[in-house]
């Protein structure tokens, strides 16, 4: 699909704002009570159980092939494929004019170019040139979209699982910390203030779990879902174009039909 990778300011700015707001509120709320606030919230044992336990649980529930794709999924969430609907419509209209003027077999001369710009269009027109019936072509394109959506859903499910396991691991970490603190108190060991501090430290794990799930894993899962929906939509538009050209529809009419799929500010006025 013709597109260019651009940094998604909504993803980056949203996560930055969320983390900044969290840290600022912690400083405003507790900074005057605890000058050493940073070390109080930085607990290596809690980080280990949250991130080690969460990723370990996810690894146990999916394939290693899915796990190694996590960095790529982060990149997909933070970099947007910027699609130009106007460019797509203009390309389709020109292809429709060519097919109407010289026949659908003339589309074969544009295959190499389309493969680099709109591979899904190229796939559809390849089947048109090969003489597939409209019914069979519709089935092939539907299968392609279904397979793509299933691949995308795997990534969405992975981050949703991370968002589900993290708070649970936080609770496990907190329970372990409370057991240790209360065991110390029960055996009469240590100053009561130390026991209270140990109890407070135990809740850091829950904090890490809830924060990582709601400020990172679940938002990224939601963004991946949005990316998938947008790509499916763009390919549905292209599938409509392929079937219309195969049917011999009027290029101008086809262009008008495709404009309906997009907002006016995305495609401008007809004839521009």
Q: Is the pLDDT of residue 247 over 70?
A: yes
Query: Per-residue pLDDT for 174 more than 60?
Result: yes
pLDDT for 164 equals 95
- The answer to whether 246 and 137 are in contact (CB under 8 A) is yes
- 123, pLDDT greater than 90: yes
Quickly count helices (H) and strands (E) in the chain: 15, 2
User: Which distant-in-sequence residues (6+ apart) come within 8 Å of 5 by Cβ?
Assistant: 79, 80, 81, 82
| Residue 173 in domain | yes
Give the least confident one: 169-183, 191-205, 244-258.
Answer: 191-205
| Domain housing 213 | 3-267
Asked, for residue 272, whether it belongs to a domain, the answer is no
Based on the number of CB atoms within 10 Å of its own CB, is 236 exposed (0-12), middle (13-18) or buried (19 or more)? middle
142 lies in some domain = yes
Residue 51 lies in a domain: yes
* Mean per-residue pLDDT over the chain, rounded: 87
User: How many independent structural domains does the chain possess?
Assistant: 1
Q: Residues 141-156: pLDDT tens digits?
A: 999 999 999 999 999 9
Cross-strand pairs, 6:
80
Q: Which residues are CB-contacts of 120 (< 8 A; sequence separation ≥ 6)?
A: 1, 144, 235, 238, 239
Residue 220 lies in a domain: yes
- Residue 2: the pLDDT is 47
- 154, part of any domain: yes
Percentage of the chain beyond pLDDT 70 is: 88
Specify if 21 maps to a domain. Answer: yes
Whether 218 shows a pLDDT value over 60: the answer reads yes
Q: Where are the alpha helices (DSSP H) in 187-270?
A: 192-202, 204-212, 218-247, 251-259, 264-267
């Amino acid at each position: 699909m013709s597109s260019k990778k651009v940094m998604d300011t909504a993803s980056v700015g949203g996560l930055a704002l969320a983390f900044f707001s969290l840290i600022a509120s912690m400083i405003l709320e507790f900074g005057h009570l605890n000058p050493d606030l940073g070390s109080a919230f930085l607990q290596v044992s809690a980080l280990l159980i949250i991130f080690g336990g969460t990723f370990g649980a996810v690894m146990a529930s999916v394939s290693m092939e899915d796990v190694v794709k996590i960095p790529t999924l982060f990149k997909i969430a933070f970099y947007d494929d910027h699609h130009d609907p106007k460019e797509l419509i203009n390309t389709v209209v020109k292809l429709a004019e060519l097919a109407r003027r010289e026949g659908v077999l003339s589309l074969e001369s544009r295959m190499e170019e389309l493969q680099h710009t709109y591979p899904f269009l190229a796939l559809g027109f390849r089947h048109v040139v090969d003489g597939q019936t409209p019914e069979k072509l519709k089935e092939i394109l539907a299968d392609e979209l279904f397979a793509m959506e299933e691949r995308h859903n795997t990534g969405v499910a992975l981050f949703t699982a991370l968002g589900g396991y993290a708070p649970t691991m936080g609770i496990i970490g907190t329970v372990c910390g409370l057991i240790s603190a209360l065991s110390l108190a029960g055996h009469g060991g240590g100053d009561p203030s130390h026991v209270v501090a140990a109890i407070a430290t135990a809740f850091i794990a829950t904090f890490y779990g809830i924060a990582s799930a709601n400020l990172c894993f679940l938002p990224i899962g939601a963004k991946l879902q949005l990316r998938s929906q947008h790509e499916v939509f763009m390919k549905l538009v292209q599938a409509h174009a392929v079937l219309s050209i195969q049917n011999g529809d009027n290029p101008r009419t086809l262009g008008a039909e495709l404009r309906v799929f997009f907002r006016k500010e995305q495609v401008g006025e007809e004839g521009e």
